[in-house]
Amino acid sequence: MVKKNSTKTKVQPYEIGELDHYLFGQGNHYEIYKKMGAHEVTKNGKRGVYFAVWAPHAVNVSVIGEFNDWDETKDKMKRGEPLGIYTCFVPEAKKGDLYKFCIETQAGEKIYKADPFANYAELRPGTASRITDISNLNWSDSKWMTAREKWDNKEEPVSIYEVHMGSWMRHPGREDEGFYTYREFAEAITKYVKEMGYTHVELMGIAEHPFDGSWGYQVTGYYAPTARYGTPEDFAYMVNYLHKNNIGVILDWVPAHFPKDAHGLADFDGTPTFEYPDPRKGEHPDWGTKVFNYEKPEVSNFLLANALFWVEHYHVDGLRVDAVASMLYLDYGREDGQWIPNKFGGNENLEAIAFFKHLNSVVCGRNKGVMMIAEESTAWPKVTGSPEDDGLGFTLKWNMGWMHDFTEYMKLDPYFRKNAHHMMTFSMEYAYSENYILVLSHDEVVHLKCSMLNKMPGEGWDKFRNLKAAYAFMMGHPGKKLLFMGQEFAQLREWSEERELDWFLLAEEPHQQIQNWYKDLLHLYKKNKALYELDDDPKGFDWINKDDIFRSIFSFTRHSKDGKKNLLFVCNFTPVDRPDYRVGVLRRKQCKLVLNSDETKYGGSGEERPLVYKPEKQECDGQKYSFAYPLPGYGVAVFEY
């Protein structure tokens, strides 16, 4: 029960009051970011900035910045109990000023920390926070936001373009690294994404981070869009612009760990504040980072409110939660003796499990139509199951099992694929155990793993034909879709954050042709309900022939809910032409050829083919009816019936 405020001084709306302490201490202050950090306010008729920071074990805290010449003695902060939230009002402070917190530790040291709740930061290599005002951002995306409330990802197309902003495209020859600003990027990416046919853009590394090479996965400013590309207002403009063009925005979000940089969250008040105190739980030995202490309500609240901040304040449509497995397993990346079992003797992190259930219930409960996406690489059960049914409550899960089997199969010389046929069919054994996204992400095209094109066997044109067949199989397989930037036009080199994509490749015919192919696959996907509205239902998929092992051909159908518009996929994964190929069909309905990889615009022979095929009563593939179709080497044909 919350006691009435016993102080004589009335708490102003912007101030941290008793109720704020109570809710934050319970882990339920979902809009704590509106109170913590630095906010422009008017006090006693004077305009200034109200600062608030949680530093429970600090002896003293002061705010230092450009407004007081970084003098530690000028603006001492007052400690609030029982949580140790320090506050002060500084009339000299104003929007644009840089600042930090000077924290006196119990060991008698002084440490200088950036604001965990800052909404803007100094451009790296600077490490200070910057005062800003994001209370009145300009939004004109009400049509999108209203429609989002009724949007059901299970029955809608989701094809995601995963993008690293700093290396998607750059201005050539500029001394400032040539980064596109959020506003420039918004207009360029919108034009490209609309032409290609993606439904969503997923952005890597948006929260402020000090090191470019971390790609944004080692965050120091969870509440600040990185200053590399502009201001918070510029970031809001980008989201708004994409929404007005009917493109969804997903952000990568990193609640698993944070770096040890001196100005960041590590040992924030001189003690393990945000992290577990025992390094066997509080550090990732492989990554050299700290692990959030999900047992502390204030830490869980910091993260939960952060998720809501991006979704509610910045209108983001989904969060792709990074490294979920590392949070769920206490022994993740650790050897014997490097981890502590839970109270039942197991390796599950019970606090992280509770955190996910709370997080997903609140974010999705308050924001209908928003997606919470788990990058979870193990067989943990019910990741997308309801928390009421002991699930974690995520909307979607990356299908890492499919990705591994698929890429390993595609790397094989076609001669040996017959021995690995099951790698392309096994995913259907568990396809409905979770709500999945099929992913070919940035992780698959770095660290000597090769680009998607160079994973393919053979030389020259064979690589492109292999990749065309691979993309078609992916687009036809149940599950939402994600492809990392550059792979849609068969980037040759591995991705690097230090340079833009090799757009010059599009001057070469094979790269243009595979871009044409992927673009047409995306548009086929978007306009055919059979490819998305029964992704989580076995009624949406039937194998025609999954056992054509020695020819390495796969044929299957996708069904719409009403059964009126169905698609038949035939994919040949060897270079051998099959002029006598025959495929079975489920019903004696004429089949219209809607996508043919042998067209010249895709780099095919251009051989003319009939558009309509009438099945005959001739048994094939275990079906009563079938029709003949000359299938070229690495050929793909998609029919509508």
**pLDDT tens digits, residue range 306-323?**
999 999 999 999 999 999
415-454 b/e with 16+ CB inside 10 Å = b? Answer: eebeeebebbeebbeebeebbbbbbbbbbbbbeeebbbbb
pLDDT digits (tens, 9 = 90+) for 333-376: 999 999 999 999 999 999 999 999 999 999 999 999 999 999 99
Confidence label for 601 from pLDDT (cuts 50, 70 and 90)? very high
Please, how many CA atoms are within 13 Å of residue 201, restricted to the half-sphere of its CB?
A: 31
CA distance 220 to 383: 28
pLDDT digits (tens, 9 = 90+) for 143-199: 999 999 999 999 999 999 999 999 999 998 787 789 999 999 999 999 999 999 999
Out of 20, 298, 375, 488, pick the active-site residue: 375
* Structural domains of the chain, ranges and CATH numbers in brackets: 18-130 (2.60.40.10), 538-640 (2.60.40.1180)
Which pair of structure tokens corresponds to residue 232?
């918070």
**365 neighbors 313 (Cβ within 8 angstroms):** no
pLDDT digits (tens, 9 = 90+) for 506-556: 999 999 999 999 999 999 999 999 999 999 999 999 999 999 999 999 999
* pLDDT score for 2: 43
Pairing relationship of beta strands 85-90 and 60-65 according to DSSP bridges: unpaired
CA distance 554 to 569: 8
How many residues appear in the chain?
641
DSSP label at residue 2: P
CA distance 444 to 440: 6
pLDDT at position 67 over 60: yes
Residue 375 appears among annotated catalytic residues: yes
**252 neighbors 234 (Cβ within 8 angstroms):** no
Indicate the residue type of 27: G
Confidence label for 5 from pLDDT (cuts 50, 70 and 90)? very low
Omega of the bond leading into 279 within 30 degrees of 0 (cis): no
Which pair of structure tokens corresponds to residue 167?
């290396």
58-74 b/e with 16+ CB inside 10 Å = b? Answer: bbebbbbbbbbeeebee
- Residue reference for tokens 């994509």: 501
Q: What is the mean pLDDT of residues 559-569?
A: 94
pLDDT digits (tens, 9 = 90+) for 216-240: 999 999 999 999 999 999 999 999 9
- Residue reference for tokens 């209908």: 368
CA distance 354 to 392: 8
* pLDDT score for 563: 87
Residue 444 appears among annotated catalytic residues: no
* pLDDT score for 111: 98
pTM: 0.95
DSSP-derived secondary structure for 80-122 = ETTTTEEEEEETT--TT-EEEEEEE-TTS-EEEE--TT-S-BP
* pLDDT score for 1: 43
pLDDT at position 4 over 70: no
DSSP label at residue 96: T
Which pair of structure tokens corresponds to residue 293?
């202490």
Q: What is the mean pLDDT of residues 119-127?
A: 97
Indicate the residue type of 556: F
What is the residue-averaged pLDDT of the chain? 96
Confidence label for 11 from pLDDT (cuts 50, 70 and 90)? confident
CA distance 97 to 86: 20
Percent of the chain past pLDDT 70, that is, above it, reads 99
Indicate the residue type of 35: K
CA distance 229 to 241: 16
* pLDDT score for 9: 59
Out of 322, 434, 444, 599, pick the active-site residue: 322
CA distance 133 to 120: 9
